[in-house]
Amino acid sequence: MKCNHACGSQEHGLARRSFLGTMLGAGASAGLGTLVRPAAAEELQRQQKRVLVCYLAGGVSQLETWDPKPRTDTGGPFRAIPTSVPGVHISELLPHTAQQMHRLMLVRGVNTNENDHGKGSYIMQTGRRREPSTDYPYMGSLAARLLAPEGAALPGYIHITPGGGGSISAGEAAFLGPRYAPVVLGNGNPPQNTALPDAVSVTSDAARQSLRRQQDERFLRRRRTALTEAYTSTYDQAAALMAQREVFDVSKESEQDHERYGTHDFGRHCLLARRLLENGVTFVKVSHSNYDTHNENFNFHIEQLGEFDRTFATLINDLADRGLLESTLVLVLSEFGRTPRINHLYGRDHWGTAWSIAMSGCGLQLGGTVGATNDNGTEVVDRQVDGGHLFHTYLRALGFDPTDQLTVDGRPVQIADPAAEAIEEVLA
């Protein structure tokens, strides 16, 4: 299922991989499927709900994070520690996060039954299994479509990655169209091509834009179409984004905050995430890499979680202190967990059968756990859920009815998987 573009083509290939190049396609995709109840969407946009996802790429170990099993054959070398919630223990690798447990909800009964990186990632971010005939939008694209204010200068879905250049991941938006695709900030750098070239002064750029507008208006007087309007508005959106380029400049944050978040990349990226959320970006995903620890699982989890723990705890605390946590859904996700069995390399392998995620904010019930695994973590024994249940829960927390439908190609498509339902215990 592809996006129907205003130009009438089935697929509007991205002319360039740059952000500005993509804006044309984005503008042209605005006329596709809409919410059945647009008034509800407008109300949600007014509430300014936001989403923050910390995506621990490669598959973080549930045993070294949210569901430790010390003193068992699968527990490994780490101990469990108490948290700010009496009776709830997590891995000793998360001492700072443990002090934020009253602001977290752990879902310990996740069974996605999927051990493939790509398929697991798809399930956790679309709430559905991949189907040959249909691509469903990622949570970030859906949030950008449903929550981001119309005409916002900033992208609705921003993905901060550990490295690489900036780009647009058009596929994540699926039938919503590339307008709702994530703008990828490689290593937290601002979107590409949003700064004036050195050779162009502000004055000369203003003159240049004025000339362009005159020509556009002259052209539009004779040939006004949806496509030409989209073309024109794309320039206006790009100009608005360029005017807000400072929003992406994390160096504007205080030295003290840089120190609190950590001087490593993940710390800087999470500080940028806070800055983006405060400036109205609807959905921010921060990826932290890499947890695919087939070898030396324990050494690498010390290293990776050593970065994650203090930074994440600081971010949660800041969101709460600034009054943002009530309106921001926070998720800590991976594509799957890791095997309870420790392999011959001191590693843990892929495991989608019994693992955990963490949630916070947005009016959820916090300070507890839902679901449970058995004594050594090999199976779910209470309140088993999959990606569909989680997706329903996210949407409900954001104020949507997951059974609402989008109209795509003239046919209704339920927002979340019809075969699943929300985890009611987590919802307030």
Partner 1 sequence: MNTAPDSAVAAADPTQAHVAAEWEHDAPLINCRFDPTGRFVFATSEDRSILRFDVESGQKFVLETQETWVRPLVFDPTGETLVSGGYDGRLVWWSAAAETPGPLRSVDAHDGWIRAAAVHPSGAQIATAGNDRIVRLWNMADGALVGELAGHEKHVYSLLWHPEGQFLLSGDLAGVIRQWDVASRQEVRTLDASALHTYNGGQGVDYGGVRSMALSHDGGQLACSGLTAATNPLGAVNEPMLLVFDWQTGELKTTHETKDKLKGIAWRVVYHPSGFLIAISGGSGGGFVIFWRAGEAQEFFVHKLPNTAREMDLHPDGLRIVTAHHDGRLRISRLDGKPNEEEATS
Interacting residue ranges for partner 1, rule: CB under 8 A: 58, 70-71, 73, 76-79, 162-163, 265, 288-290, 292-296, 300, 302-304, 342, 344-345, 347
Minimum distance from CB of 14 to partner 1 (Å)? 25
In the complex with partner 1, the residue whose CB is nearer, 124 or 342, is: 342
Minimum distance from CB of 172 to partner 1 (Å)? 21
In the complex with partner 1, the residue whose CB is nearer, 58 or 387, is: 58
E strand or H helix that includes residue 407? strand 405-408
3-state secondary structure of 222: helix
In the complex with partner 1, the residue whose CB is nearer, 52 or 342, is: 342
Other residues' Cβ atoms within 10 Å of the Cβ of residue 410? 7
In the complex with partner 1, the residue whose CB is nearer, 201 or 299, is: 299
110 bridge partner residues: 355, 385
Minimum distance from CB of 392 to partner 1 (Å)? 32
DSSP string, 152-194: -SS-SEEEEESSS--EE-GGGGGGG-GGGSPEEEETTPPPTT-
In the complex with partner 1, the residue whose CB is nearer, 186 or 368, is: 186
E strand or H helix that includes residue 45? helix 38-47
What count of Cα atoms within 13 Å lies in the side-chain half-sphere of residue 273? 36
Minimum distance from CB of 277 to partner 1 (Å)? 24
Minimum distance from CB of 76 to partner 1 (Å)? 8
Minimum distance from CB of 347 to partner 1 (Å)? 7
DSSP state of 70: T
Distance CA(232)–CA(64), nearest Å, equals: 52
Distance CA(243)–CA(41), nearest Å, equals: 27
In the complex with partner 1, the residue whose CB is nearer, 289 or 384, is: 289
Which residues in 174-194 are b (16+ Cβ under 10 Å) and which e?
A: bbbbbbbbbbbbbebbbbbeb
Our CA angle for 426, 419, 147, nearest 5°, is 60
In the complex with partner 1, the residue whose CB is nearer, 78 or 136, is: 78
Q: Are 194 and 152 in contact (CB under 8 A)?
A: no
Minimum distance from CB of 11 to partner 1 (Å)? 31
